[in-house]
Structures are given as C-alpha cells and as structure tokens.
Amino acid sequence: MSHDVKKYSRATQVVHAGQHVDPATGAVAPPIIQSSTFSFKDCAQGAARFAGTEEGYIYSRMGNPTVARLEEAVSTLENGFGGFATASGMAALNTVVFALMGQGDHMVGTSSVYGPSRVVIERDFSRFGVASDWVDTSDIEKVRAAMRPETKIVFVETPANPTMVLTDIAAIAEIAHKNGSIVLVDNTFASPILQRPIELGADIVMHSMTKFINGHSDIVGGMIIPKTKELYTKIRPAHYYLGACMDPHPAWLALRGFKTLAMRVRTAQDGAQKVAQWLEYNPKVEWVRYPGLASHPQHELAQRQMEGPGSLISFEVRGGLEAGTALLDSVELMTLAVSLGGVESLIQHPPSMTHAAMSRENRIAAGITDGLVRLSVGCEDADDIIGDLEQAFQKV
Ligand code: LCS
C-alpha cells in the first residue's frame, strides 16, 4: 500500500514517496528483490499477467518491485502517471524517441543540451528517418519558426547543459500543443525539488538519475515520467523491448539517495550562490552564467519557473581555453571529472569533454565557447570551494 504523500511538502515527500514498510518482514528500509523472474502459481495466472488482466511481476526487464518503488518515488515528486526507470539517462531519452517517433517525424530541440542527447538524434535516429532542428529554445519565436506539421516532440533541457540557458516551459507547451506536439523536458539540472515541468505543461519528464536524484556519484541511471496514462501505455512496450531497464541494485541505491534530495539540493544551491557571486567579482573571470545572479539574462524566468537556481555554474576564465585549462589542472579540493549533481564538487571543460561529440560549429552556435568551464557545486562548505578556486586562480 502506498502512502498518500502528496499532501506533504517536497522535503517530506522525498523521504516517504515509494517507501513503505515491507509487509513480509516489517523492514523499514526497502528490500532488494534481486530476482530476474517471478513464479506463477499456475498457468492461468501466468497467462493473466501477460495479458495484463492481473497485476503482478513476471520478469525484471518488465518490472521489478525494488525498481517500482523508485519509479513511484520520482513520479510522485514530478506529479506524473507512473514512471520507467532506465539503465541511464541516455536510455531514458532513447526509449522515449523509440516509443513515440518514426520515419518522417520531426523533433525541435534545445541547441545546448547534453552533447550526446543531441548527437544520438542527429546522427543515429536520423538513419531511421527522424529529422531534427536544434534552436535556442529560450527564444520562443525561434521555436515557433522551427515547428513543422510533422513535429512530434519538442525536447527542452532547462537549465541547459552547460550554458545554463533557461527555457520557458509553459510558453513552449502552448506552441507545441497547438501543433499537436508533445513536450519532453530533461529536468536533470533542476530536479523536482526546484522545477516540476508537468505542472508547467510538459507531457513527459526525463532525468539522468546519475546526477541529483542518486546524488552520490556511484550509479548510472535514468527515469521517464509521463503525465498521462495514455503516454504511459505508449512508452511501456518500448521500455520492455528496448531492454533499457534498470537493475534492482542500482535502483535501491538511487532510492536511498533520493531520500536526501531536498537537503542536498538546498545545501549545494546555497554554496553555488556564494561561489557564483565570488566568481562574478573575480577580475580573472570573463563572464559567469548562474540563474541566481541578477546578471543572468533570464534571472526573472528563473524566479518564476524554478524554486531556486540550483548548483551548476558556467563561466569563462579571462585568457580563454589556455587560462581555463590552467585553472582546471590546479584544483585540489574539487575533482576534475564529468558528471554533476553529486555531494562532491566537480569541474570540467565541456568543449573537450561532455560536448566533444558535437561539431565545433554547432557548439559555438549553441553558446558553448571554447573557454567555457562548468562547475557542479557539491555539499562541501562554500568557503572551502572558494578557497580552492582562489588557490587555483593564482596559478592562472
Ligand atoms: N541529460 C542531461 C542533462 C545530462 O547532463 C546527462 C549526462 C544525460 C542526460 C545523460 O545521462 P546518463 O546517460 O549519463 O545518465 N550528463 C553528463 C555530464 O554533463 N557529464 O557527464 C555526463
């Protein structure tokens, strides 16, 4: 039995959503049901489960009790209709496209998304007849102009990786829905603590759970949360057949990490605000992009659409690529690594790392300049992070 947890605040929901005392043992922490298959009491039951006329588990690629708790937890926070946990964030995106798009269909996407999310559509799904256009979705007129009658999905990442450009989800939903298109929002950077796209008009939310939802840089995973039963039903067979399922063990870790999502997001955000302000006053910094700064071009949208600016910052060191490299090579407390949203601060260079698969031309057009540095502020004391930046900047 599930709790009616939606009446509580978000911080309470993350602790209790998908969590119920195990009826068999009374265990407070969820059991890891590490089984690939589930027995039927007789043939009639097996047939009924396959036919969908009886609830119950069959085979873990099609559903698993531990994974189901995580799906319930994240879907509750996002206000969706169920969820599909996937082996990675990329598997979540690929499953949605595999489920809903085909020959002759068209996608409009945010030009600055996580590099591989764009490359897989442009380079790989195009081989199956899926066309796409990638525009600055913060400019509504550009989205309007890119729409075609065959546009099936408008894919928005906000805040965008790594430019921190924001897109007005409600405005996009209005344009998309008039055209009969579905809005897919990658909510990885914000997490449901700071932004709930379905409440703003999105039809499907996806996450790389590798990031904030798990929060401890120790698993890879993804999640798809549809808004409606109709979309849930369309995605379900694709999730089985693509085999993009998540295993129970990493799901259990993500469920454990999820309980502290609210406190981690808020702690990291408090630190990021201080770090961003410090960077803004640093004469060695060319520019800083953080939604919590008044200098962010969409500071007002951040305040309207999000419950906080989050903990990712992008900036450019004066002196461009060479100076940026010197900074990255000099950090001590922070770790030079890709990924984000963990308790530890991570710093990286998107043009040569996370977005290296994009052409330089597409990167520059998307605002990913050669010297851009991305910082994922973790839960360390902000003064220690600033101290680390201070000593690293001395070497620039
Ligand atoms: N969506 C966003 C916004 C991401 O940042 C990533 C990964 C993905 C989807 C894909 O998720 P994955 O398959 O890795 O779980 N972003 C990464 C990054 O910025 N650094 O390393 C991975």
Yes or no: say if 101 and 240 are a contact pair by the CB < 8 Å rule.
no
Q: Which protein residue has the closest C-alpha to ligand 1 atom 21?
A: 339
Yes or no: say if 28 and 88 are a contact pair by the CB < 8 Å rule.
no
Per-residue pLDDT at 4:
87
Substitution site in 156, 188, 224, 353 for ligand 1 pocket (most atoms within 8 Å of beta carbon): 188
The span from the CA of 73 to the CA of 224, in Å, is 12
Per-residue pLDDT at 1:
42
Residue 74, both tokens = 């994240």
Q: In sequence order, what E strands does 191-297 have?
A: 204-208, 222-226, 285-289
pLDDT, mean of each 10-residue run, the chain (396 residues)? 81 95 93 98 98 97 97 98 98 98 98 96 98 98 98 98 97 98 98 98 98 98 98 97 97 98 98 98 97 98 98 96 95 98 97 93 93 97 98 96
Beta-carbon count within 10 A of 145 CB? 11
Per-residue pLDDT at 153:
98
- Check if 250 has its Cβ closer than 6 Å to any atom of ligand 1: no
Q: Which protein residue has the closest C-alpha to ligand 1 atom 20?
A: 339
Q: Could you tell me which of 118, 116, 120 has the C-alpha nearest to residue 133?
A: 118
The span from the CA of 169 to the CA of 167, in Å, is 6
User: Which residues are known to be catalytic?
Assistant: 61, 114, 186, 211
Residue 239, both tokens = 């999730």
Residue 31 sits at φ, ψ, to 5 deg, of -75, 150
For 116-132, give the DSSP string: HHHHIIIIIGGGGT-EE
CATH code of the domain occupying 262-393: 3.90.1150.10
Per-residue pLDDT at 61:
97
- The residue extents of the domains of the chain are 11-258, 262-393
The CATH T-level fold of domain 11-258 is: Aspartate Aminotransferase; domain 2 (3.40.640)
The span from the CA of 141 to the CA of 207, in Å, is 27
Per-residue pLDDT at 3:
59
Question: What is the largest distance, in Å, between two alpha-carbon atoms of the chain?
Answer: 73
